Chain A
């Protein structure tokens, strides 16, 4: 499933669609909520900092274990200091600085790649 992000309303639409997909894969209500909330944080970062981007959602499998993978991609300004961006409370927009570190805690895996001036890609996964 591919979702385009352009406006804040797309955040709400995409996270509910992903929550439904997580449910279909077999995640319980707590994990569905964690996944949807992590997506909400990353999607909001894309809309705020990059303007627009794309979410790529898929069911994945590793050693007999089903899971969900979401790749959040934008071609925005990129993140200069990734270490700093993952610090609780760090924000360049008077936010709570909770999105990135929080998304990492909510998911089983998070991998962020960013290049200044080129954009940011965040991959998150959760296993059943």
Chain B
């Protein structure tokens, strides 16, 4: 009876092990067990396939050497070591790392580090990493596109020597407002413009945040030595700005781009005459 049970237990154990192995070898995630000195105690097939080379295995090598090809622990300002973060927080930590695979290609890996506790002390770490290169590259591309769109949607035009115009179109959120501000100031320096005309005809909503950004832009331009004129303030926007308590005193404002230009020409001592 007892013998039978023992045999059955072993059988079950072997059965479990085959299942574990099947699972661990067939997932695409790279899984490894590390000791507190960053050395790899165990790694699944995914790790071997991705980082192992014919000459050197990965077992008992430090993780940073295998995945990063460096001989020190990852540290800022480059990748942040997840083990050190786990030591600080106690819980699992996920980081995005730049790794190099067995062929030396750069890949992006999302690494989650789980602590293994023994009697309340962290004794080992389990690292599960996933190749997210495609996702990261797609995200980077998207960001570039967004940047290009923002730049296209906030052109700064040199209307006349010393006069630039910034026609704003569409909803302005805080990141676009930032971009507009930096872009305008750069163009001011590049063109040595004395007057900048900000046209908000195409801006549907001016809330306190947008108004605040616009005022800060105007103040920063003034610090550079350039005067800003705001044009295209529609009646409903004027009303809402007053209701919001936006203070535009000290800023020259005009209803239309034409009257703003007219003012700018006069200020520069220029005169437009019919032929």
Contact = CB atoms under 8 A, between A and B. Distances in A.
Nearest to B178: A30
A59 B182 contact: no
Contact of B96 (A21, A58, A64): A64
Contacts, number: 21
A30 B77 contact: no
Contacts of B178: 30
B41 to A, nearest CB: 26
B73 interface: no
B77 A25 contact: yes
A54 B103 CA distance: 45
B246 to A, nearest CB: 18
Interface of A: 21, 24-26, 30, 58-61, 64, 66
B274 interface: no
Given A30-B182, A61-B85, A25 B96 contact: no
B244 interface: no
Contact of A59 (B77, B94, B96): B77
A61 B182 contact: no
A5 to B, nearest CB: 21
B76 interface: yes
14 contacts: A21-B77, A25-B76, A26-B77, A30-B178, A58-B76, A59-B76, A59-B80, A60-B80, A61-B80, A61-B85, A61-B95, A64-B95, A64-B96, A66-B80
A7 to B, nearest CB: 27
A-side binding surface: helix, strand, loop or mixed? mixed
Contacts of A21: 77
Contacts of B96: 64
Q: How large is the interface on B (under 10, 10 to 19, 20 to 34, 35 or more residues)?
A: under 10
Interface of B: 76-77, 80, 85, 94-96, 178, 182
B77 A24 contact: yes
Nearest to A28: B182
Given A59-B76, A61-B95, 17 more contacts: A21-B77, A24-B77, A25-B76, A25-B77, A26-B77, A30-B178, A30-B182, A58-B76, A59-B77, A59-B80, A60-B76, A60-B80, A61-B80, A64-B94, A64-B95, A66-B77, A66-B80
A26 B79 CA distance: 12
Pairs A-B, 5 closest by C-beta atoms: A59-B76, A24-B77, A25-B77, A61-B80, A59-B77
Contacts of A66: 77, 80
Contacts of A58: 76
Instruction: Determine which residue in B76, B95, B178 has the highest number of CB atoms from chain A within 10 A of its CB, and name it.
Output: B76
A26 B77 CA distance: 9
A59 B80 CA distance: 8
A66 to B, nearest CB: 8
A109 to B, nearest CB: 16
A45 to B, nearest CB: 24
Nearest to A21: B77
A57 to B, nearest CB: 9
Contacts of B80: 59-61, 66
A24 B178 CA distance: 21
A79 B80 CA distance: 35
A48 B178 CA distance: 33
A24 to B, nearest CB: 4
A88 to B, nearest CB: 15
B55 to A, nearest CB: 33
A60 B96 CA distance: 12
Contacts of B95: 61, 64
A59 B95 CA distance: 13
A25 B80 CA distance: 11
A126 B85 CA distance: 19
